[in-house]
Each structure stands twice: as structure tokens, then as C-alpha cells.
Amino acid sequence: MAFTYTILVVANRTADSDELRAALEAHAERRPTRFVLLVPCPAAGPPGRDAARAAADRALAHLREAGLEVEARIGHHDPIDAVSDVWDPREFDEVIVSTLPGAASRWLQFDLPHRVARLTGVQVTHVVASDRREPALSAPPRRERQGVLSPLSVLTWGGGSQEPRSR
């Protein structure tokens, strides 16, 4: 029986991205690999857990469609705490951290890939992926209709009419 690698994959918004899927497929082509997807909650409490579960379910469907052996776990809303809670060097051989690119990634702002490497002591691969969610759109703000004399309204900024002062 061949040795099977187990890789911990940490992702949230990018869990169902094509870039992460391609990276996992590349690992699976090199050697027999099983993946454990850890999805930290985006916020504390039940709504955060529900959002993480929904992201994990979407990702599982996307990754299993590619024939990958993957299971999902939901973690603490702080990704370092989430990794710390599930990390077991007897279970995992490597870690993959998937983030949004550059300034869009909150995880990169606090250097998550390097912090996970220090915590685990194993190789950490960083995958930069896109967010598959549709951006939230909102209507532009309504503009107040102004009259012809509205530019003169700045002259009234002092609190209204002023009476002459007596000495």
C-alpha cells in the first residue's frame, strides 16, 4: 500500500476558487494525497459558522468534482487559532494557505502563511486565488435637487441672521 500524504488546506473566500483547485490537482498528480479543508468562520457566532459551512459545502462540491479526496472542517474565526486547534503533526504533512491577492487579503495583512509555517514547522505553500463571489452592488446615492440660489446658501452658515451688537 502506498503512503498517502495529508495536506491541511486553509481557505475561506477562496475555498472554491479555480486557482486552489489547480494547486490541489497538481499535488494529487505527484503523489497520492488526501486534503483536509479548514474553513475559518468569517465572524464569531452562529451566523459566522453558517457562512463557513456554506463556503465549505461549495468548495467540497467544486474540489470533489475534480476527483480530489477532500473533507472539510469549520474552524475558529481567527485563522491562526483555527489552525492551532486542528494541527497535529502526526496527521498532516504539509499546509496550503489560500488567500486573496495583495491588499484585498486581510490574511496577508497579518502574514498568515508565515505565521502558519512558524506554528506548524512544516512546508507551507501559499496559493493566491480569486474570490468567486459576486460583488455586492448598490444603487448610487440620490442627489438632492437644488435651486438656482443654492450656491448662496454658504452665506448663511454662521447660524442665521446676526443682529448688530451694542457697545
Which CATH number applies to 9-128?
3.40.50.620
CA dihedral 4, 5, 10, 11 (to 10 degrees): -60
Give the strand order in the sheet containing 124-128.
Answer: 69-75, 33-40, 5-10, 94-99, 124-128
CA dihedral 66, 71, 72, 78 (to 10 degrees): -100
The three cell numbers of residue 165 are 451688537
pLDDT for 1: 45
For the chain, 167 residues long, give each residue's pLDDT as a single digit of tens. 468 999 999 999 999 999 999 999 999 999 999 999 999 999 999 999 999 999 999 999 999 999 999 999 999 999 999 999 999 999 999 999 999 998 888 999 999 999 999 999 999 999 999 766 555 666 777 777 677 777 776 676 655 555 555 55
The residue extents of the domains of the chain are 9-128
Rounded CA-CA distance 34/5 in Å is: 6
User: pLDDT digits over 127-155, tens only?
Assistant: 999 766 555 666 777 777 677 777 776 67
pLDDT for 133: 58
The three cell numbers of residue 20 are 486552489
In this structure, are strands 5-10 and 124-128 parallel, antiparallel, or unpaired?
unpaired
pTM metric for this prediction: 0.76
